[in-house]
Amino acid sequence: MRQIPVDTANATVMVAKAPQPKVKDRRTGEIALDKDGVTLMTVEVMFSTPEEVEILKLTVPQPGVSENLTMGTPVALTGLVASAWENEFNGQKRHGIAFRAVAVTSLAAAASNAKAA
């Protein structure tokens, strides 16, 4: 699947929903892991550019998620890519865009450290 890099240079990004483990199978509650066995997390962010505002649901490996990410926390996204997907379930075709990042880093901690200096 082709991954398209997403430019975040002109965007303001804030946490819309705190990180949660990504569920692979809703029936069993199985948590999703990447190919290296690392737990995957889901983080919803408000992605705001001068033209529009969207809520994006990102998949991020657990080690790449900053601690204390709460709603409204400004964040930086590292390695954000978009991938188109399509599947068929019960005869219904579905499609969309999946977003994945290497890391979601809190900018609130950096701002408070700068004020203290």
Residue 105 DSSP symbol: E
Name the pTM for this structure.
0.83
Q: Quick check: 58 and 85 in contact, CB under 8 A? A: no
pLDDT digits (tens, 9 = 90+) for 23-52: 998 899 999 999 999 999 999 999 999 999
Residue whose token pair is 């705190």: 18
pLDDT of residue 108: 86
> Which residues, other chains included, contact 9 with Cβ-Cβ below 8 Å and sequence gap of 6+?
none
* Under-70 pLDDT residues of the chain: 1, 109-117
Which residues have CB under 8 Å from 18's CB, separation 6+? 43, 69, 70, 71
